[in-house]
Amino acid sequence: MLKDRRHDYRLSHSTSGYFSEVLERALLTTPEVHEAGSGLQNRKQDKRIVVYELFDQEVGPFYFYLSVAKPQGDLDQADLAFIRKVFTNIIALDDAARAIPSQYDENEELFEICVDAAAGMVVLDYSSTLWSTEWGVHFRMTDSGGFECLGIPDWKSPGQFIR
C-alpha cells in the first residue's frame, strides 16, 4: 500500500456548510428524471433516479451529481431529511471512503452521490484521474443515525465488501 496517495479532490478542502448550501441551491432547480431501465451515464439503472446537478463544471474544484432512487413522485420530507443528513456528514463520508487502502497512487475524484433514502443507503462513486476506472463506496445509516462504511463491493466475492 502506498502511504502518500494524492487527494487533490478531497471534500475536506471545503466545509460541510459549503456543501449544504450547494445542496439547498440544487434542490430549488428542476432535476432530471431517468426512468428505470433508461440508463444513466451509460449505465443501466434498475430504479427510477432523480438527478440534481450540484456544481457548474466551469467553476470551482468540485463537480459531482446527487442521484436519488425514487420509485415514483417527487422527493418527500423523509427523502429530503435523509439527503440533508448525508450532506451534513459528507466530509466524514468522503474521508472514510478515501481511507480504504489501495495499492495504487490514485488521485480519485468523487463524481456522484447516490442516495436511496428508503433503504438508508448512500454510495459515493469515484473515478481515477490516472486511468479509466470507477468504484463505489457503500454506506448504511445505523440505528443511532450515523453512517457505517460498508466498503467497496468485492467483485470476486459477491455480497462482500473491501474495507
Grid coordinates in use for 71? 420509485
- CB of 120 within 8 A of CB of 139? no
**Which of 125 and 46 is assigned the larger pLDDT?**
125
Query: 31-81 pLDDT, tens per residue?
Result: 999 888 776 555 556 789 999 998 866 666 678 899 999 998 899 999 999
Neighbouring C-beta atoms of residue 22, cutoff 10 Å? 20
Average pLDDT over residues 103-127: 88
pLDDT above 90: residue 101: no
| pLDDT number for residue 1 | 39
Are the beta carbons of 72 and 118 closer than 8 angstroms?
A: no
